[in-house]
A = this chain, B = another copy of it.
Amino acid sequence: MEERFRELYESRAKIIKALAHPTRLFIIEELQKHERSVGELTAMIRADTSTVSKHLSVLKNAGIVADEKRGTSIYYQLRTPCIMNFIGCIEEVLELNAKAQMDILKCCRK
């Protein structure tokens, strides 16, 4: 693997890592419907504000969401909705896994 390739994969991995957390996946799915303020998200997630804020800043640093101050709150929105497509693929993996698990159960029971 050549060096410049390694860098490309590194950049991609950084973005993907930003997606790789349950809370952040929730946030992304929520933002796809609506833009949301930190407070609104915090209420839905039921965690410390600071925790939610940190998750948002991870997403923002990765360039996945953008924020906009309006009135007294800061609203976050999804910057690249294509992110959602990819959830579909993850779901496909999960289904395959579940199916494989079923097969194991079926085959070894009479």
Contact = CB atoms under 8 A, between A and B. Distances in A.
Interface string A52-90: 000000000011100000000000000110110111111
Contact of A94 (B15, B45, B97): B15
A34 interface: no
A17 B15 contact: no
A39 to B, nearest CB: 15
Interface string A7-39: 001111101110111111110000000000000
A1 B46 contact: yes
B89 A83 contact: yes
Contacts of A45: 1
Contacts of A90: 12, 15-16, 86
